[in-house]
Structure 1
Amino acid sequence: MKVSNSFKTNLIYIAALLHIVLFTYAAISKLLDFQNFQIQLGQSPLLSVYASVISLAVPAVELVLVIFLMIPKYRVMAIYDSCFLMFLFTVYIILILNFTSFVPCSCGGVLEKLGWKEHLVFNMAFVLLGLIVITLHKGIIHLLKMTAIGGLLGTSLMVGLFLSSEDIMLKENPFIRRFPQGTAAQVAQLDLRNTDYYIAGVTAEHIYLGNHKAQLQIFIIDKNLKNRRQFGVKLERENFNFTHITLRVHGKYFYAFDGTAGVVYRGSTSDWKAKVINDKKYAFNDIAFIDVDDVIIRGQKPKDHTNILAKVTGKESMQFVINDKLLEKQIDGFFDTDGTLNYSFDYDRMIYVYHYRNQYIVADKNLKLLHRGNTIDTTTKARIKIATIQKSGDTKLAAPPYLVNKLSGVTSNLLLVNSMLRGKFENKKVWDNATVIDVYDFTSYQYLLSFYVHDYNGFRMKDLYATHDAAYIISGPYLLKYGYGERIKSKMRYEELPAGNR
């Protein structure tokens, strides 16, 4: 079947005109909302690492193609290139829908109301239009050759970008977060009408809150954040030089302790009466309870006051297993090794997250080092300034420190870290009204995903407690419950858990 030259000319002209409209609108839309376009590429599970380059290259290529499509001499060549570009976009969407760990929100710009599948159909229509022009121009044999070469080249290019981007994200993440849908969302809230509460513990049925001012009061709230009860804690002996008493609840036991006084109490949640289990005056500045008799403490060396970790067994007589190598000194050994101490009852692992550098430590219950992992930011050394008071010899922070990781919590194999640093391609408006929680697998030492905790009535997150079904958060006077979505639940793995621990 012969096709007249006028039909070919008209079809080429129409195809060129459609591509000109498409690429002009697409490029201008991207450039007018460039930051949002770059953020969307940064959230892509395929191209995160290359978002900076691609966000500039794509609109530039589209505008160059528009220019060549306008020039009759280069119009057919430009349609060849346009067809190849639309094929790349098509392969990208196919990979997104079928081979990535999550499907991000579809990009804005051109046809922003369309979802990924609708975009796929739209792109394929333009690819088909380009193939028809190529067939009419050079014939079916030429089409088959170009399709084979272009298809192989385009698919290889997109798959190569995908694999290399994923490899870099896993091994040397350049501070790019991923916010897939279905991670976590606020499902309940309770106005506590007081900003002094902290989370003392969570069990299968209840949330336990302590109060920094009413130090011997415990508040019990059900998991739906509805019913609330209050009890007073009674201590067996109070002849200690207390500075601040903190409460912790684990299972059917509760603990009251004051690190400065070096005293620890234990009691039953059935009557809230506590007896002394340690009064040996071993001062500590943080503590994690392993089981009924064992704890891990963070204390200081007597000579240089650098922080160290120790396991303390107190069933009959106090026994210490000290590891002074776990916390690594960078500047002073005290401020620069400050952090949050967690214990995973599911895996019998201690996880310590530094406040001022991008590192966390995983050790077994006897403080044997298993791994030093990194959070995804790039702050490898603590940025703090220390001053020494001449009269007393005390050291103080001479300026506000550069805080990297503020809060943390563990559940199953997951480590949740409240990072204070904004990553690449993150919307500043969102960042100004929310804090971020990064989720890691502390058994495979990989970053998994992130989600936002939005400020509630203007209050930022100040306390975090992770459980198997939700993250409990205190923001100002509010207790919030963030239920996990399937994206987080699917990442959880369990070893043999103690009875009733899950």
Structure 2
Amino acid sequence: MIRKKTYTVLLICTIGSMSLVVLMFILTKKEIQRDMSFKRGFLHDAPKKIHELDLEYNNYYIAGAADGQIYLGNPQSPLYLTVLDTALQSKEVIHLTMDQDSLPLRSPQLRVTPPYFFLMDGTVPYVLRGRTKDWKAHSILKNPLYFSNAQPMDSVTLAIRAISNKTKELVLGTISLMDTAKANLSYKLLEKQVDGIFDTDGTLQYNQQLRRLIYTYRYRNQYIVANDSLQLQLLGNTLDTISQAQIQVGTIASKNQRKLAAPALTVNNYSATSGNYLFVNSKRLGKTESLFLWEQSSVIDVYDLTENSYQFSFYVADIETQKLTTFQVLNDKFIGLIGNHIVTYQLGDRFKEPQQPPATTALNSKKQVSEYR
């Protein structure tokens, strides 16, 4: 009887010790994710969710937002565009037509910047443009210029990210869609740290109000602001301190391809821009932040591009354990996709109308560039 009790006590102690070890491991693992070097600022009157709509499918992406309307594309139905109002009350599905019988649709991208829209695929490549009044697309890319991402700058110019034939590394550039399409690439904007491909991965955006190309690095705490001539205007920093991409790159010998050899440390997951501001979905947990809240939401850090300064942060709540994937900002409305759902958040009064930058800003100060070069 005594021996049986002894075994029982030992078993309980063993299970308890193992549970404690597992608990300590989990807590330690979560604590490692916290960066004690920075602290976010959250407003008392934080942006709040005002509308939500179940789209029934999770393969939509935001093709544009303007004039109170949200345009959603779907890679599985590239010739159909879903149009919503910002209150998410009205819905219209538009069938796009084009001047060709068929096109290879490997990686199509729709971009809507009224009064124009673009249907593009940089892997084929082709660019079709049309007007939103009739949604008829016409081919305008005369030369085979390849790219991995593109954002319209105006009706005849695209900002692009591509792989250079010269260096085999990522570069930023522009494509002119005039009579003879021409590409202008910059080999100075993106800074190679490891391999020039994975380490320079990021989100490309174009700010129509500021007339600036913006590129936010995915694996380091930096974003680039360049003018239409691809001249660096600002090299800004996000809140965290990860200035070097923490990645390991391997090679698939049979295919002569590079790949990530281990999971990379993501710093900036996605970004969007509107007016004077840059909105960044960070993957770094800051000092004093609630781990419980962090695990149930996505954090957005807001930066003022004209002042080169951090402004504040806010949370976008998960929906049914699904996290925010992509988003866009239209004046004072934050528009996000979360799983099958689209949501809108109300931002503050400062975002209501497109802002005009002051005459002297961080974007036209040579000092801002020289500090980082």
Which category of TM-score, normalised to the shorter sequence, fits these structures? 0.7 to 0.9
2:52 and 2:88 in contact (8 A); partners too: yes
1:185 and 1:485 in contact (8 A); partners too: no
1:216 and 1:245 in contact (8 A); partners too: no
Alignment match, 2:25: none
Does residue 314 (structure 1) correspond to residue 314 (structure 2)? The answer is: no
Residue among 165, 174, 178 paired with 2:41 = 178
Alignment match, 1:484: 347
Using a 3 Å threshold, how does the CA distance of structure 1 residues 233 and 491 change in structure 2: closer, same or farther? closer
Residue pairs, 1:97-496, within 5 angstroms: 174-237=37-100, 240-486=103-349, 489=351, 493-495=355-357
1:220 and 1:229 in contact (8 A); partners too: yes
1:242 is displaced (CA, Å) by 3.3
Opposite residue 349 of structure 1, the aligned amino acid is R
Counterparts of 1:295 and 1:244 in 2: how far apart (Å)? 17
| Farther off after superposition, 229-238 or 464-473 | 229-238
Deviations 1:149-190 (A, max 9, x none): xxxxxxxxxxxxxxxxxxxxxxxxx32100012231101111
Counterparts of 2:173 and 2:150 in 1: how far apart (Å)? 10
1:468 is displaced (CA, Å) by 0.8
Tell which has more relative contact order, 1 or 2 (C-alpha 8 A, sep 6+): 2
Counterparts of 1:491 and 1:280 in 2: how far apart (Å)? 39
Deviations 1:79-99 (A, max 9, x none): xxxxxxxxxxxxxxxxxxxxx
TM-score (norm 1): 0.62
Q: Which has the higher helix share?
A: 1
Opposite residue 321 of structure 1, the aligned amino acid is N
Counterparts of 2:116 and 2:98 in 1: how far apart (Å)? 14
1:495 is displaced (CA, Å) by 4.2
1:414 and 1:492 in contact (8 A); partners too: no
Structure 2: runs of 5+ lacking an equivalent: 1-35, 359-373
Counterparts of 2:269 and 2:353 in 1: how far apart (Å)? 23
Counterparts of 2:148 and 2:270 in 1: how far apart (Å)? 16
* Partner secondary structure for residue 259 of structure 2: strand
Q: Which has the higher strand share?
A: 2
Counterparts of 2:187 and 2:246 in 1: how far apart (Å)? 22
1:196 is displaced (CA, Å) by 0.8
1:286 and 1:299 in contact (8 A); partners too: yes
Deviations 1:384-416 (A, max 9, x none): 111111122111111222111111111110000
Opposite residue 213 of structure 2, the aligned amino acid is M
Counterparts of 2:114 and 2:44 in 1: how far apart (Å)? 33
TM-score (norm 2): 0.83
Alignment match, 1:25: none
Counterparts of 1:246 and 1:343 in 2: how far apart (Å)? 15
* Partner secondary structure for residue 316 of structure 2: strand
Opposite residue 265 of structure 1, the aligned amino acid is L
* Partner secondary structure for residue 52 of structure 2: strand
How many residues end up aligned between the 2 structures? Answer: 323
| Farther off after superposition, 312-321 or 382-391 | 312-321
Counterparts of 1:477 and 1:239 in 2: how far apart (Å)? 30
Quote the sequence identity (%): 36
Using a 3 Å threshold, how does the CA distance of structure 1 residues 333 and 238 change in structure 2: closer, same or farther? farther
Counterparts of 1:238 and 1:301 in 2: how far apart (Å)? 31
* Partner secondary structure for residue 292 of structure 2: helix
1:270 is displaced (CA, Å) by 2.0
Structure 1: runs of 5+ lacking an equivalent: 1-51, 53-173, 497-502
Name the larger-Rg structure: 1
Using a 3 Å threshold, how does the CA distance of structure 1 residues 258 and 238 change in structure 2: closer, same or farther? farther
Alignment match, 2:22: none
1:239 is displaced (CA, Å) by 5.5
Counterparts of 2:70 and 2:284 in 1: how far apart (Å)? 29
